[in-house]
Amino acid sequence: MSDILLAFKAGRAYRRPGTNFVDARPEKGAIILTNGEDGLLHFQWKNRTTASIEEDLILFPSDASFVKVAQATSGRVYVLKFSSSDQRHFFWMQDASSARDDEFVTNTNGLLDDPDYTLQWGTSQEQPEASTSASASSATSAPSQFQPTPEQLNQLAAILGSAGGGAAAPQASELSLTDILTPAVLSPLFTGHPELIPALFPHLPPDLPMPPSAEVLGRIINSPQFRSALSNFDQALRTGLLGNLVRGLGLPEEAGTGVAAFLRAVQEQADQESDNMETD
């Protein structure tokens, strides 16, 4: 199976024959960069409505670049161009906010130059020590078999709710898992409920110190590698392409369509499990 390195919402656009005008197509899509089973970098465009890959380009290091089309009036049209040919593939950003356009472009070009490039996110103050391609793969690969109890879901939902601190709820496009699942928010879960720790350890790296402890988990959630993996999962949620993954976690497919939808589904599942316990 191909490892997803980067994904973000984008539609396709086409140049009018004989002109320099570019027209955006309305189809909802996503640009996905993967490390293919053939060991090569693939630049794909996926139709988010049909879930089909409609474009799959094999790229070699430093042969392509992803740059903004300066003449575009919207400012959010980009072209994938090649140094070895005259090919041009046009795309337009479909995320509701343009706040992360530059990050997506920087990371795309980093991977086009070097598939082992370490993704850079402006919201992160610490950079991982190694390539995040493995982290991205783990964040979007087959789900764990860990099944949380209703009590654990309620605890997580309460933590997510308290993270808002009573402030006005941000717009869905502004929600970020790296802002919500901070060490300050997660640490009380481990220290206040030590019974959760043994259930988590089978799903963590095997070389961790034993016996399991809140201190060890604290080091994990403070590590650059964990923050990078969380950021990659956050970005994958923003593409709206994780329906299959979240179904494996016992959540509805809609939970994989965005960060806000994912958090809302966790809360709703916790509420439902709690109601079922009360009626048993």
Q: Work out the average pLDDT over 175-199.
A: 78
Residue 165 has pLDDT above 50, yes or no: no
Residue 118 has pLDDT above 90, yes or no: no
Higher pLDDT, 198 or 19: 19
Q: Work out the average pLDDT over 64-76.
A: 84
Residues 189 and 193: their CA atoms lie apart, in Å, by: 6
Task: Say what the pLDDT of residue 227 is.
Answer: 79
Sign of CA dihedral 230, 112, 241, 206: negative
Task: Say what the pLDDT of residue 177 is.
Answer: 80
Q: What's the pTM?
A: 0.52
Sign of CA dihedral 6, 180, 138, 256: negative
Q: What is the mean pLDDT of the chain?
A: 74
Crossing angle of helices 150-163/183-192, nearest 10°?
150
Q: 237-258: b or e for each residue (b if 16 or more CB lie within 10 Å)?
A: bbbbbbeebbeebebeeebbbb
Q: Given pLDDT bands bounded at 50, 70 and 90, which one contains residue 181?
A: confident
CA max distance for the chain? 70
Q: Work out the average pLDDT over 84-107.
A: 89
User: Which has the closest alpha carbon to 10: 62, 40, 54?
Assistant: 54
Task: Say what the pLDDT of residue 93 is.
Answer: 93
**pLDDT tens digits for 119-150?**
887 643 333 333 333 333 333 333 333 444 44
Which residues have C-beta within 8 Å of that of residue 242, sequence separation ≥ 6? 140, 236, 256, 257
**Size of the chain, expressed as the number of residues it contains:** 280
**pLDDT tens digits for 226-269?**
777 788 788 777 776 676 667 766 788 778 777 788 888 888 87
Residue 162 has pLDDT above 70, yes or no: no
Residues 155 and 267: their CA atoms lie apart, in Å, by: 10
Q: Work out the average pLDDT over 80-105.
A: 89
Is the CB of residue 244 less than 8 Å from the CB of residue 256? yes
Backbone Cα Rg of the chain: 20
DSSP 18: T
